[in-house]
Amino acid sequence: MTADSLLWCNATRIHDWSNLETPLQILSAWIALGLVADAEWVEGANGRTRKISIPTSKLGDAIRSEPLGRGDRLIVQVGGSKPREWAVTVVLFPKGAGMNMFNLTVALNNGMRIGSRVSDSFLSLYSPETADSAFIHADPQWTQLATESYKPPLVTTPTFAGVFWANYLGPGHLSHFSVPKLQAIQAYRTEWRDDRAMFLVTAPTLEEVLTPGGEGELKHLTEEFRAAKV
């Protein structure tokens, strides 16, 4: 299956992201990987898109400066076109008021490969104290799996519909599963943080899971997770 875009999605309901500390650490990783560059446009809670020119060094400040919307929610999207089309979508609530989302979409072009440099960064980013779920995959395969093969979702469709290329589960999501059963699952790469958080990478590169065999492995692992549900 061909891939049009990279999806790197992060979520939590149980952590307080309203100070933007964790989201901006994730943003710094995206910048270091070259996935996010200087911003050219921003869209706030009012839905109006404004042309801007913001260097990566000021991108966090620009997100912080956006006015809060209804219910003290921060809703903003910011993006650019170099070195390829990218967009960051931010939906943040006061603690406990909703599902916080901090997501990146990047066009996959110019022979861009997603491998160990990205997965190593992914495994270094999260802890039980900072985030509850994250994944990296590619569209349109993500949409096809999440809306068809992974119904019903293992937790929720936006946060953990099923197993994708790179996966992180923190305390709020692990509570849906038997930890001993998850610890018995074998995949390309798994890591644990004191039984409170799990990382699972399913192949050396993203491209490998887009093949029929790779997709079959994703579905097999998803069924193992489903069997571990409590």
DSSP letter string, 1-21: ----EEEEEEEESSS--TT-H
CA–CA separation, 113 and 116 (whole Å): 10
24's tokens:
């901006």
Is 90 exceeded by the pLDDT of residue 47? no
Is 70 exceeded by the pLDDT of residue 110? no
Confidence at residue 112, expressed as pLDDT on a 0 to 100 scale = 78
Q: Tell me how many degrees the CA angle 104-133-138 measures, rounded to the nearest 5.
A: 40
Is 90 exceeded by the pLDDT of residue 6? yes
In angstroms, the Cα distances linking 111 to 107, 143, 215 are 11, 22, 21
The 10 Å Cβ neighbour count of residue 199 is 21
Per-residue pLDDT reduced to its tens digit, 139-198: 999 999 999 999 999 999 999 999 999 999 999 999 999 999 999 999 999 999 989 999
Confidence at residue 172, expressed as pLDDT on a 0 to 100 scale = 93
Relative orientation angle of helices 116-125 and 21-32, to the nearest 10 degrees: 160
Number of domains the chain contains: 1
Burial group, residue 197, by CB count within 10 angstroms (0-12, 13-18, 19+): buried
Confidence at residue 1, expressed as pLDDT on a 0 to 100 scale = 59
Per-residue pLDDT reduced to its tens digit, 82-92: 889 999 999 99
172's tokens:
């709020």
Average pLDDT over residues 120-124: 97
Domain span including residue 140: 5-227
Average pLDDT over residues 32-50: 92
The 3-state DSSP class for residue 134 equals: strand
Dihedral sign of CA atoms 9, 205, 36, 61 in order: positive
Confidence at residue 111, expressed as pLDDT on a 0 to 100 scale = 67
